[in-house]
Amino acid sequence: MMKRAKSKPEPLPAPTPGGPRHVAIIMDGNGRWATQRGRPRLFGHHAGAKRVREIVEACPDVGVEYLTIFAFSTENWKRTQVEVAGLMSLFRRYITKETRSLSEFGVRVRFIGDRVRLDDKLIKLMNELEEATTHNTRVHLTIAINYGGRDEVARATKRLAQDVAKGVLDPEQVDEETLPRYLDTYVLPDPDLVIRTSGEARISNFLLWQSAYAEYEFIDTLWPDFTREEFGGLCASYGGRDRRFGAVKT
Ligand code: IPE
Ligand code: IPE
Ligand code: MG
């Protein structure tokens, strides 16, 4: 069978002034996408993983500096052993396969979430990818694996309490500036725009603290069908939103 020539991607709309600097995506709908095709759920996860590179590479074109993607939640362990093991193996394969192209594109990769429950081989690959891309600045890609917003706040609070017990932190100093320093995302700006694919209008424990003032886009597209054009369109329409942060414009 002849391979279809890859057509040159169409140019995306230019970055809008006031466009989102940090976009977070809840990549949902892989299972339904596979079921619609009569295939096992893991087929959908593989198709979903393939979408990530295109979206990462669209970021500089649309002026997005930070992209954070939800790959596996603290609640996703409730799925069948087959699906969980398949996802873990997919993450290992993804990291091994994509390290080179991510590095060459200038992507700095970080992981958020609790690593303790992950297998040693995956943890090693995650550490190596973070290390290998540490000097890159073109796109900051953060991948959330075994991540839950409540779990993150609980872990942060534990470390904060330990610092108080050690006398390193005065309880009087604990405020909205101090607490986020203990979150997994402490080096990242808050997301400006959170996109969830697949038609579900909920946040499923994603970036609870950080998204307090984010704009949300819930779109029907299933994650394996999400394209750079759709991403570009969402970023462009964000630029037109009136973000008041509780104040009244005079
Ligand atoms: C999102 O797709 C990926 C993960 C949660 C790992 P789903 O697997 O949740 O797909 P649906 O929602 O069942 O279609
Ligand atoms: C959220 O999707 C988690 C990820 C995309 C990784 P889920 O499919 O797990 O969320 P629910 O179950 O619909 O809330
Ligand atoms: Mg889902």
Q: What percent of the chain has pLDDT over 70?
A: 95
Confidence category of residue 17, pLDDT binned at 50, 70, 90: confident
Asked whether the whole model's pTM tops 0.85, one would answer yes
pLDDT at 42: 98
Is residue 85 one of the residues assigned to a domain?
yes
State the CB neighbour count (10 A cutoff) for residue 184. Answer: 22
Question: How far does residue 30's CA lie from ligand 1's centre (Å)?
Answer: 5
Mean pLDDT throughout 76-89? Answer: 98
Our answer on whether the CB atom of 146 is closer than 6 Å to any ligand 1 atom is no
The number of folded domains in the chain is 1
pLDDT at 229: 97
Q: Position of tokens 């101090």?
A: 178
Closest protein CA for atom 9 of ligand 2: 76
Instruction: Tell me the ligand closest to 205's alpha carbon.
Output: 2
Is residue 161 one of the residues assigned to a domain?
no
Is residue 137 one of the residues assigned to a domain?
yes
- Three-state DSSP class for residue 167: coil
Mean pLDDT throughout 20-42? Answer: 98
Is residue 130 one of the residues assigned to a domain?
yes
pLDDT of 13 strictly over 90? no
pLDDT at 7: 58
User: Is 242 a residue of the active site?
Assistant: no
Round to whole Å and give the CA distance between 206 and 214. Answer: 12
Confidence category of residue 1, pLDDT binned at 50, 70, 90: very low
pLDDT of 16 strictly over 80? no
pLDDT tens digits for range 101-120: 999 999 999 999 999 999 99
Q: Position of tokens 């096992």?
A: 40
H or E element in which residue 143 lies: strand 139-147
Confidence category of residue 227, pLDDT binned at 50, 70, 90: very high
Closest protein CA for atom 14 of ligand 2: 204
Mean pLDDT throughout 158-184? Answer: 97
Our answer on whether the CB atom of 29 is closer than 6 Å to any ligand 1 atom is yes
Is residue 14 one of the residues assigned to a domain?
no
Confidence category of residue 8, pLDDT binned at 50, 70, 90: low
Q: What is the DSSP string of 177-208?
A: TTGGGGSTTTTSPPPSEEEE-TT----TTSST
pLDDT of 4 strictly over 50? no
Average predicted confidence (pLDDT) for the chain: 94
pLDDT at 157: 98
pLDDT at 9: 66
Is residue 242 one of the residues assigned to a domain?
no
Our answer on whether the CB atom of 86 is closer than 6 Å to any ligand 1 atom is no
Our answer on whether the CB atom of 224 is closer than 6 Å to any ligand 1 atom is no
pLDDT of 2 strictly over 60? no
Instruction: Tell which residue, 18, 13, 16, has the closest CA to residue 242.
Output: 18
pLDDT at 3: 44
CATH number of the domain within which 63 lies: 3.40.1180.10
pLDDT of 152 strictly over 90? yes
Is residue 135 one of the residues assigned to a domain?
yes
CA angle 56, 89, 104 (to 5 degrees): 30
Cα dihedral value 102, 107, 113, 117, nearest 10: 30
Round to whole Å and give the CA distance between 183 and 187. Answer: 9
Cα dihedral value 131, 85, 203, 139, nearest 10: 20
Round to whole Å and give the CA distance between 170 and 163. Answer: 8
Instruction: Tell which residue, 84, 155, 162, 151, has the closest CA to residue 122.
Output: 84
Cβ atoms of 93 and 167 within 8 Å: the answer is no
Cβ-Cβ contacts under 8 Å for 232 (sequence gap 6 or more):
12, 13, 58, 61, 62
User: Is 175 a residue of the active site?
Assistant: no
Substitution site in 25, 26, 28 for ligand 2 pocket (most atoms within 8 Å of beta carbon)? 28
Confidence category of residue 95, pLDDT binned at 50, 70, 90: very high
Is residue 62 one of the residues assigned to a domain?
yes
Mean pLDDT throughout 217-226? Answer: 98
pLDDT tens digits for range 52-71: 999 999 999 999 999 999 99
Sheet holding 107-112, edge to edge: 107-112, 139-147, 66-73, 22-26, 193-196, 215-218
State the helix-helix crossing angle for 228-238 and 41-62, rounded to 10 degrees. 50
The domain in which residue 65 lies consists of 22-148+191-237
